[in-house]
């Protein structure tokens, strides 16, 4: 999968792309990240990409021309969606990550300053928000999207099951995890995890996921993701709103 990132601060991405899972995915040609400097498309002699807003107001606004030309240059004759990292979009979640992972190539536009000229939306397909908080720019949001989506690309993780068990993938929070030692300061690993009984381990993990979701994020409990056994167990532990 190819991520084309349009930004005025391409150097911000160097750290995340040179470490851990993303680095290995790039080396194995499972993903590719093209960093495109929007300034390269500015027609201003000083390579400006922002200006004061018409009508007055605080801060600067990213100009339409550099954004428009940068997007069209990357797209050329290829058809790919353009996602703008901005505050007015729908909140990014695992469902959106799965949806994006099905594309072969996308464009991620990083906003900055007080936003973008409204006319730039003419070449944008969708706006994505990280949540109800303010960020300086869209770079960190784009990094989050790249990281989240890349984990869903076949071969990026050692086993596809790795992401299938993670929080939010199946509509529930992930079950607790343990590793060595078996006993740390009197805190022991649950015996079932040491039993070797894979059916009982799977049952325990599912029940713990249900408990955690009920206690921490009950808003995630959706009947379409629950089995009859799940519902029976939730009823046993006191949840009746199903």
Query: Does 85 belong to an annotated binding site?
Result: no
Query: Does 125 belong to an annotated binding site?
Result: no
Give the pairing type, strands 50-51 and 32-37: unpaired
What are the backbone angles phi and psi of residue 29, rounded to the nearest 5°? 60, 30
The answer to whether the beta carbons of residues 78 and 40 sit under 8 Å apart is no
209: nearest Cα among 194, 224, 230: 230
The DSSP result for 2-48, as a single string, is EEEEEES-GGGGHHHHTSHHHHHHHHTTS-EEEEEEGGGG--STT--
Query: Does 164 belong to an annotated binding site?
Result: no
Query: Does 135 belong to an annotated binding site?
Result: yes
88: nearest Cα among 43, 64, 121, 65: 121
Residues 6+ apart with CB under 8 A from 188: 182
Query: Does 89 belong to an annotated binding site?
Result: no
Residue 106 and residue 109: Cα distance in Å, rounded?
10
227: nearest Cα among 186, 151, 184, 172: 172
Query: Does 131 belong to an annotated binding site?
Result: yes
Query: Does 235 belong to an annotated binding site?
Result: no
Residue 120 and residue 199: Cα distance in Å, rounded?
54
Binding residues: 111, 130-135
Binding residues for S-adenosyl-L-methionine: 111, 130-135
């Amino acid at each position: 999968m190819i991520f084309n990132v349009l930004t005025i601060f391409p150097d911000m991405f160097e750290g995340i792309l040179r470490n851990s899972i993303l680095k290995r995915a790039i080396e194995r040609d499972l993903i590719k990240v093209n960093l495109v400097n929007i300034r390269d498309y500015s027609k201003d002699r000083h390579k400006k990409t922002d200006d004061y807003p018409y009508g007055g107001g605080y801060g600067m606004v990213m100009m339409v021309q550099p954004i428009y030309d940068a997007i069209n240059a990357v797209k050329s004759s290829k058809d790919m969606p353009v996602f703008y990292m901005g505050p007015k979009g729908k909140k990014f979640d695992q469902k959106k990550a799965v949806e994006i992972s099905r594309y072969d190539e996308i464009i991620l536009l990083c906003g900055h300053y007080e936003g973008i000229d409204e006319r730039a939306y003419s070449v944008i397909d969708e706006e994505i928000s990280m949540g109800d908080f303010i960020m300086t720019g869209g770079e960190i949001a784009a990094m989050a999207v790249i990281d989240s989506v890349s984990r869903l690309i076949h071969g990026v993780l050692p086993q596809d099951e790795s992401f299938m068990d993670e929080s939010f993938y199946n509509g529930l929070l992930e079950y607790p995890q343990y590793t060595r030692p078996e006993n740390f300061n009197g805190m022991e690993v649950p015996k079932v995890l040491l039993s070797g009984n894979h059916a009982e381990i799977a049952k325990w993990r599912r029940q713990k996921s249900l408990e955690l979701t009920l206690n921490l994020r009950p808003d995630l409990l959706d009947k379409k993701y629950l089995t009859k056994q799940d519902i029976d167990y939730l009823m046993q532990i006191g949840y009746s709103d199903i």
